[in-house]
Structure 1
Amino acid sequence: MDPDDLATVSPLIMRTIRRFGNWYLDLTPPKDVVAIRLNLAPGTLFPTAPV
């Protein structure tokens, strides 16, 4: 079968329709980055189980 013929009968159109839309990624870091450090007591996030 010729690939051009197969492309005309394919149920999924790939050339004109973008299934998930247009994605634009801005990978530059933000200018105002606030560094926050949390001072948590030991065992706050992962408490130990009683023995």
Structure 2
Amino acid sequence: MATELERECPDCDAEQEFYRAAATHLHLGLKTKWFCTDCGYGFVKIDGDIDSLPA
């Protein structure tokens, strides 16, 4: 799995690079924590389908 990800950061209001800080397996799938390299904004992604970023 990649350790970097390009996503829209809600705090920076721009496309930013996120780094993977942690990963663990749950009954729902693989849970990963991602943080923005610029501002430190973080979000959680589960099994590639569920994430905590605002829509």
Whether TM exceeds 0.5 here: the answer is no
> What TM-score comes out, normalization by structure 1 length?
0.16
Higher-RCO chain (CA-CA 8 Å, sequence separation at least 6): 2
> What TM-score comes out, normalization by structure 2 length?
0.16
| Structure holding more strand per residue | 2
Structure with larger Rg: 1
